[in-house]
Amino acid sequence: MITIEESIPTKNDAYKLGLDIFYVQFNEIFFYIEDEDQENFYFCILKKLFPDVVFEKIFPLGGKNAVIEESEKYLIDKKKVFIVDKDYDDILNRLVRNPNLFYLDRYSIENYLIEKESLIDYIIGEKPRLKRKRIDQLINLDELIIQIGETLHDLIILFIVVQIRCPHYKNVSLKHERFVGFNRVFLLKQDQFDQYKSEIESELQGLDRRLKINTQIKKIKKSISLNTIDAFLAHIPGKYIMKMVKFSIENSFRLPSRELDSFNYRIAEKCTFNSLKNIQDKIIAFLN
């Protein structure tokens, strides 16, 4: 049996690229993003960032390359704004410098959902009898992000090695549950990590026998600092962070488990997104 989402007809690239024509009378500004399945999520966030801008729809183009290519066509059009995830483009020197193209400062849009008050509001929404002050005392968000970052540190380094040396090999698309366990705190599954490291070693050897996995790891560690909250939020995939934050608060407060997309959307509804001010300011400067 197929899901409701799977039964919805898909739109081809030509349709996606031409859809904005029908919204000229409704949109002062046209925002373009990567993923179709994040349209509602992004719309919620952009409405908060630009409350005075009139727009009824934003436009997912089906991937980063499509967004970048479309931005090339409208370099001086002040009504078109193109937004993409940073991913590891900064590390890989792949940033494209178009005036209308805006990279997030963090790995993905989900990385900006880390706000304590929004999490507290979410918990109260699930358990209204809990006291805000008590929830506030029980949540140490900085400590949680540090724990997540330290748990994932070596795995992220491996992902970056793969992105640089053998980008077609599986990396950030892997589920974090393969590598992370939980026993009061998050723990790296060392056997799974070692197995993955071995797989990458074999992949590297197949490309060039001179490439050694430990040498590549050392190079990455020398060039990238991954030891602070800001660094964790900049370089760890947001889906990993939010899955682990979700699991942590559901476990701590005995909340019902929700789908990640639903959880993220509800958190976004409560966020201030002050962490997006840099991007907000850049876009406003471009529009003016």
Q: Domain check: are 256 and 135 in the same one?
A: yes
Q: Domain check: are 108 and 130 in the same one?
A: no
Burial (CB count within 10 angstroms: exposed 0-12, middle 13-18, buried 19+), residue 24: exposed
Both tokens of 143, joined, read 């400590």
53 three-class SS: coil
C-alpha span between 51 and 47 (Å, rounded): 5
Range of the domain at 132: 116-270
pLDDT at 4 over 70: no
Q: Domain check: are 99 and 158 in the same one?
A: no
Q: At what angle do helices 213-223 and 141-165 cross, to 10 degrees?
A: 130
pTM (2 decimals)?
A: 0.89
Domain count, the chain: 2
Q: Domain check: are 186 and 53 in the same one?
A: no
Q: Domain check: are 160 and 254 in the same one?
A: yes
- The residue-averaged pLDDT of 269-276 equals 96
Alpha helix segments (H runs only) across the chain: 4-7, 13-18, 39-49, 64-73, 116-126, 132-138, 141-165, 190-207, 213-223, 229-235, 238-253, 260-270, 277-287
Q: Domain check: are 80 and 172 in the same one?
A: no
pLDDT at 144 over 90: yes
Q: Domain check: are 155 and 253 in the same one?
A: yes
Q: Domain check: are 41 and 56 in the same one?
A: yes
Start-to-end C-alpha separation, the chain = 50
Look-up of token digits 């991913």: 87
**3 CB-near residues (< 8 Å, 6+ apart):** none
Cα 285 vs. chain centroid, distance in angstroms? 24
Q: Domain check: are 98 and 237 in the same one?
A: no
Q: Domain check: are 129 and 163 in the same one?
A: yes
218-256: pLDDT as tens digits: 999 998 889 999 999 999 999 999 999 999 999 999 999
5-49: pLDDT as tens digits: 444 445 555 445 555 654 556 789 999 999 988 999 999 999 999
C-alpha span between 82 and 72 (Å, rounded): 10
Report the candidate in 113, 28, 97 with the shortest Cα–Cα distance to residue 282.
97
Q: Domain check: are 227 and 259 in the same one?
A: yes
| Percentage of the chain lying above the pLDDT 90 cut | 86
Q: Domain check: are 20 and 123 in the same one?
A: no
